[in-house]
């Protein structure tokens, strides 16, 4: 590989390294957004097969349809999101599996969303432990670039020294002059070289962004709430007690704002020997939120009483039978006869010989409701319970008196997908257009400058020769006068370069008093020379070179 091509390759590697570090550096080593999973098994066929390498990137959110990698107790898994959410966990399913996974990963367990996959590279990637091969590859690229840059710097420092070469290097003529050229990049003006490197790196980075943009779909699917409504149930109660000094009214009601903050600490208690019954009132409301309206609401309501003993036995009785209702609001009342319940518990304890320390009484109204929200049907079952603790000393209602259940009806909506560019989020469509335009523009600039630097396009004949054959040239101040039997003038520098390669010598460059600039090679007793046509005018790039590099003399001007 020639020095210019090697330099271009090194800088392309550096540009790729920068892109990798920004977009895909692995989180498990460099705390980056990237991750890698090697596919094992058949659960994702035909999307991916065993041995595929899936490249992942961490996202701020994940949607239904995304293929994500996540951590489990048994290792890393890559499957597709088919439901769930970030709070309760995503519902996962392999493309080739009949049933959803038992895992429901949350965002802190997700490695990232799959950007692309590469077939048949899982073997070496597995041996490198997921991503180490990438680190080694880019590390070698960086080392190569650093070493190459150091070599260029050494050549730049060394290029101006005057040395004396042995006769074998000049084909038999002892001459004093500069070392061979350090190459087109070293000879090019610094602004031109820096612009070339910047354009090349920008084109490589844009191409990398374009690669990801064209691999990602233009749209992404997400579950968006479209219809929302709230079901609310409110309890109120009154404990009927025997008239006594501490209960002069014979009725005990919940204190204002007496919703229990701690279910283990009752807010209102009554002595059991004085309590006769509890009257429970319940109110249910169905209403739309966010401007949504519910209509044609109808259903049924019933109330059950469940008695739970501390030893585990339960008994459920019906307090009120099912009855229909219409409208978005319904009320229900039920009476708990504590004296009858006490007699029942005495019989059970006498039959079993076991006396429980306490009992739980759960009053549960159940609402089965149907209706419409817009044109969408509603079918819900709503149940809330009022807990009453009962023991030989006290009767204590506990728990919250108000229960609210918000419900959303979501649909799958397609939106424009985005790509993160550092702190920016750009739509995939714009990223594709921008990356293509930037790649084309920066690539064109880099190609034009490469033609100027490495081929001498738009420059003088001398500059073209030095650009293309600089590594074979040796500037001399004067050649020794020797008896030359044959002198052959060739028609092009290319022919002279072939002769030099065949003879294994350098091409000598001399500013001859009579001929002007000439290039020659001595092969035995024969001298082959090439004399460029004298320039008619200086090009604008040559003028730029003369201004940027005062040590480079314009063509046609004597040294």
Which range, 226-230, 273-277, 423-427, 445-449, has the best average confidence (pLDDT)? 273-277
Q: Which residue has the tokens 């501390």?
A: 310
Is residue 415 over pLDDT 70? yes
| 159 pLDDT above the threshold of 50 | no
* 328 found inside a domain: yes
Q: What pLDDT was estimated at residue 523?
A: 83
Domain closes at, from 362, 387, 413: 413
The confidence band for 164, taking pLDDT boundaries of 50, 70 and 90, is very low
Task: Provide the pLDDT for residue 337.
Answer: 94
Kindly tell me if the per-residue pLDDT of 18 is higher than 60.
yes
pLDDT digits 0-9 by tens, 471-492: 788 888 766 555 567 788 888 8
- The lowest-confidence range among 19-23, 280-284, 351-355 is 19-23
Within-domain flag for 137: no
Return mean pLDDT, the chain.
77
Q: Per-residue pLDDT averaged across 387-412, rounded?
A: 83
3-class DSSP state for residue 263?
coil
Of 107, 130, 153, the domain-final residue = 130
The whole-angstrom separation of Cα 35 and Cα 40 is: 16
Measured CA to CA, the distance from residue 265 to residue 397 in angstroms comes to 10
Is 125 exposed, middle or buried (CB count within 10 Å of its CB: 0-12, 13-18, 19+)?
Answer: buried
Alpha helices in 378-525 (DSSP H): 428-455, 461-469, 493-503
- Judge if 280 and 402 occupy the same domain: yes
Residue with the two structure tokens 């070293």 = 186
Asked if residue 249 and residue 387 are part of one domain, the reply reads yes
Query: Measured between alpha carbons, how far is 348 from 21 in angstroms, rounded to an integer?
Result: 73
395 and 305 within one domain: yes
Between 9-23, 128-142, 160-174, 391-405, the lowest mean confidence (pLDDT) is in 160-174
pLDDT at 369 exceeding the cut of 50: yes
Q: Is the pLDDT of residue 431 over 90?
A: no
**Which of 206-210, 341-345, 347-351, 458-462 is predicted with the least confidence, judged by mean pLDDT?**
458-462
CA angle 157, 140, 188 (to 5 degrees): 30
What single-letter DSSP state applies at residue 357? S
pLDDT of residue 58: 86
Rg (CA), the chain: 43
189 and 302 share a domain? no
- Structure-model confidence comparison of residues 201 and 12, the more confident one: 201
Residue 473 belongs to some domain of the structure: yes
Tokens coding 505: 């010598």
Both 494 and 530 in one domain: the answer is: yes
The whole-number average pLDDT for the span 330-346 is: 93
Domain end: 388, 413, 438, which one? 413
Give a yes or no: residue 207 inside a domain: yes
Angle between helices 428-455 and 3-23 (to 10 degrees): 160
At residue 321 the predicted structure's pLDDT band, cuts being 50, 70 and 90, is very high
pLDDT higher than 90, residue 323: yes
The arithmetic mean of pLDDT across residues 406-426, rounded, is: 72
CB 384 within 8 A of CB 332: no
| H, E, C per residue of 372-411 | EECCEEEEEEEECCEEEEECCCEEEEECCCEEEEEEEEEE
Residue with tokens 């996540």: 70
441 plus 529 within the same structural domain: yes
Q: Which residues contact 471 (CB under 8 A, 6 or more apart)?
A: 3, 180, 181, 183
- Least confident segment among 12-21, 164-173, 274-283: 164-173
More confidently predicted of 166 and 497: 497
**3-state DSSP assignment of residue 513:** coil
Sign of CA dihedral 200, 205, 208, 209: negative
Determine the Cα–Cα distance for residues 89 and 552; give it in Å rounded to an integer. Answer: 69
Q: Nearest-CA neighbor of 51 among 112, 122, 110, 102?
A: 122
Confidence of residue 467 (pLDDT cuts 50, 70, 90): confident
Please check whether residues 195 and 234 belong to one and the same domain. Answer: no
Burial of 80 (0-12, 13-18, 19+ CB in 10 A): buried
E strands along 29-88, which residues? 34-38, 53-57, 67-72, 75-85
**553 located within any domain:** no
For range 392-408, the mean pLDDT: 85
Residue 422 within any structural domain of the chain: no
| Torsions phi, psi for 270 (to 5 deg) | -135, 145
Determine the pLDDT at residue 552.
Answer: 45
On whether the CB atoms of residues 304 and 318 are closer than 8 A, the answer is: yes
Structure tokens at 139: 């590390």
Residues 516 and 400 in one domain: no
Res 108 pLDDT > 80: yes
d(CA 303, CA 86): 36
As for how many domains the chain has, the answer is 3
- Per-residue pLDDT band for 16 (boundaries 50, 70, 90) equals low
Indicate if 184 and 260 belong to the same structural domain. no
- Indicate which CATH number applies to the domain containing 109: 2.10.109.10
Instruction: Give which of 136, 110, 144, 135 is closest to 37, Cα–Cα.
Output: 110
| CB-based burial label for 56 (10 Å; 0-12, 13-18, 19+) | buried
- pLDDT > 90? residue 325: yes
Structure letter (DSSP) for residue 151: H
Domain of 366, in residue numbers: 226-413
Q: What's the pLDDT score for residue 162?
A: 38
Percent of all residues in the chain with a pLDDT value above 70, rounded to a whole number: 70
Residue 548 has pLDDT above 80, yes or no: no
| Inside any domain, residue 218 | no
Give the H/E segment covering residue 339.
Answer: helix 338-352
* CB-count exposure of residue 407 (10 Å: 0-12, 13-18, 19+): middle
* More reliable by pLDDT, 494 or 31: 494
- The model's pTM is 0.42
Q: Which two tokens stand for residue 33?
A: 């957004």
Q: Is residue 517 part of a domain?
A: yes
Whether 90 and 177 share a structural domain: no
Are 115 and 157 in the same domain?
A: no
The CA distance from 365 to 105, in Å, is 35
Predicted pLDDT at 300: 96
Q: Are 302 and 323 in contact (CB under 8 A)?
A: yes
Flag whether pLDDT at 156 surpasses 50: no
The pLDDT of residue 14 is: 67
Which backbone phi and psi does 239 adopt, to 5 degrees? -95, 120
Query: Between helices 461-469 and 493-503, what is the axis angle to 10°?
Result: 30
Name the DSSP class of 458. T
The answer on 158 and 126 residing in a single domain is no
CA angle 363, 364, 368 (to 5 degrees): 160
Round to whole Å and give the CA distance between 449 and 447.
Answer: 5
Q: Residue range 531-553: average pLDDT?
A: 53
Give the least confident one: 368-372, 443-447, 554-558.
Answer: 554-558
């Amino acid at each position: 590989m020639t020095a210019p091509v090697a330099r271009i390759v090194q800088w392309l590697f550096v540009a790729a390294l920068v892109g990798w570090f920004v977009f895909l550096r692995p989180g498990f080593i460099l705390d980056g957004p990237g991750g890698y999973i090697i596919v094992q098994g058949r659960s994702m066929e035909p999307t991916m097969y065993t041995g595929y390498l899936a490249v992942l990137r961490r996202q701020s959110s994940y949607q239904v349809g995304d293929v994500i990698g996540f951590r489990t107790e048994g290792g890393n898994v890559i499957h597709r999101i088919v439901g769930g959410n970030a709070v309760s966990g995503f519902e996962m399913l392999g493309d080739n599996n009949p049933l959803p996974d038992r895992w429901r990963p949350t965002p802190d367990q997700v490695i990232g969303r799959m950007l692309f996959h590469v077939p048949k590279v899982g073997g070496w990637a597995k041996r490198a432990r997921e991503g180490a091969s990438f680190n080694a590859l880019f590390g070698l690229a960086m080392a190569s670039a650093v070493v190459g840059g150091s070599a260029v710097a050494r050549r730049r420092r060394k290029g101006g020294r005057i040395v004396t070469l042995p006769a074998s290097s000049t084909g038999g003529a002892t001459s004093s002059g500069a070392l061979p050229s350090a190459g087109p990049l070293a000879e090019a003006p610094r602004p031109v070289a820096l612009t070339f490197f910047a354009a090349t790196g920008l084109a490589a980075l844009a191409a990398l962004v374009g690669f990801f943009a064209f691999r990602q779909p233009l749209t992404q699917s997400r579950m968006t709430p479209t219809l929302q409504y709230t079901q609310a149930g409110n309890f109120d109660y009154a404990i009927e007690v025997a008239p006594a000094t501490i209960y002069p009214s014979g009725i005990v009601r919940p204190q204002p704002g007496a919703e229990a903050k701690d279910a283990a600490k009752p807010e209102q208690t009554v002595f059991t020997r004085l309590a006769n019954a509890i009257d429970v009132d319940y109110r249910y409301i169905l209403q739309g939120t966010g401007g949504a309206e519910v209509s044609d609401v109808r259903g049924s309501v019933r109330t059950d009483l469940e008695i739970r003993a501390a030893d585990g036995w339960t008994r459920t009785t019906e307090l009120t039978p099912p009855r229909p209702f219409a409208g978005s609001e319904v009320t229900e009342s039920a009476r708990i006869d504590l004296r009858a319940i006490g007699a029942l518990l005495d019989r059970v304890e006498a039959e079993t010989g076991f006396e429980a320390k306490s009992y739980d009484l759960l009053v549960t109204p159940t609402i089965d409701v149907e209706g419409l929200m817009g044109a969408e049907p509603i079918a819900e079952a709503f149940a809330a319970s009022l807990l009453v603790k009962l023991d030989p000393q006290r009767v204590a209602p506990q728990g919250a008196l108000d229960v609210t259940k918000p419900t959303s009806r979501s649909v799958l909506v397609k939106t424009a997908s985005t790509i993160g560019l550092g702190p920016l989020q750009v739509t995939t469509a714009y990223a594709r257009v921008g990356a293509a335009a930037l790649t084309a523009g920066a690539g064109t600039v880099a190609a034009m400058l490469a033609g100027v630097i490495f081929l001498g396009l738009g420059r003088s004949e001398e500059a073209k020769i030095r650009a293309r054959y600089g590594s074979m040239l040796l500037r001399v101040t004067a050649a020794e006068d020797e008896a030359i039997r044959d002198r052959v003038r060739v028609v092009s520098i290319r022919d002279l370069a072939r002769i030099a390669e065949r003879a294994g010598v350098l091409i000598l460059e001399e500013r001859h008093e009579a001929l002007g600039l000439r290039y020659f090679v001595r092969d035995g007793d024969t001298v082959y020379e090439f004399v460029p046509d004298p320039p008619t005018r200086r090009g604008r790039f040559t003028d730029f070179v003369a201004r940027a590099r005062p040590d480079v003399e314009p063509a046609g001007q004597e040294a």
